[in-house]
């Protein structure tokens, strides 16, 4: 679950806040699209959810955690519970499709056997079977996006 309670985000030097008194609740299993004009606060919302930024006011809860109470040292561990697909995909260009997907599983400590079984299954689910040995630059934009989804 994601919960924003009266969240405000002001950036130093900005004339107006990026977010001002936002209340938002996203329950488990819900899909939400954040849309808006450039500068309307979409990226700020995502940065708060990932705890890349902290709110100027209000509280942000993700997966039952008040993010203001998570120490900077524990943020990477918290993020391992989240799957995020970025607009630029953030694929590892020097790694194959297989290795890009396997990487996220390695980071969370999955066994080699689990990874060897899960990665091909996941690639098949997103329509990329047989493309595990390719590199991101050898894929179309849509295929790169599906690698990012598989990795999430």
Query: Are 75 and 107 in the same domain?
Result: no
Contact 144, 101 (CB under 8 A): no
Domain contains 86 = no
Please classify residue 62 by burial: count the beta carbons closer than 10 Å to its beta carbon, then call 0-12 exposed, 13-18 middle and 19+ buried.
Answer: buried
What's the structural domain count of the chain? 2
| Percent of the chain residues topping a pLDDT of 90 | 74
Q: What is the pLDDT of residues 4-42, one digit of tens each?
A: 999 999 999 989 999 999 999 999 988 888 888 878 899
Is 59 domain-assigned? yes
Range of the domain at 28: 2-79
With CA atoms as reference, report the closest residue to 93 among 128, 124, 139.
139
pTM of the predicted model as reported, rounded to 2 decimal places? 0.65
């Amino acid at each position: 679950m994601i919960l924003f309670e009266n969240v405000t985000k002001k950036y130093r030097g900005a004339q107006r806040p990026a977010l001002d008194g936002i209340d938002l609740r996203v329950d488990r299993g819900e899909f939400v699209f954040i849309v808006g004009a450039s500068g309307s606060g979409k990226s700020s919302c995502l940065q708060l959810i990932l705890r890349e930024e902290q709110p100027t006011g209000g509280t942000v809860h993700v997966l039952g955690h008040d993010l203001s109470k998570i120490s900077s040292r524990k943020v990477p561990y918290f993020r391992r519970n989240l799957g995020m697909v970025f607009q630029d995909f953030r694929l590892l260009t020097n790694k194959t499709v297989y290795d890009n997907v396997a990487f996220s599983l390695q980071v969370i400590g999955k066994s080699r056997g689990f990874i060897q079984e899960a990665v091909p299954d996941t690639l098949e689910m997103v329509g990329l079977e047989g493309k595990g040995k390719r590199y991101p630059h050898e894929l179309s934009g849509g295929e790169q996006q599906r690698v990012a989804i598989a990795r999430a």
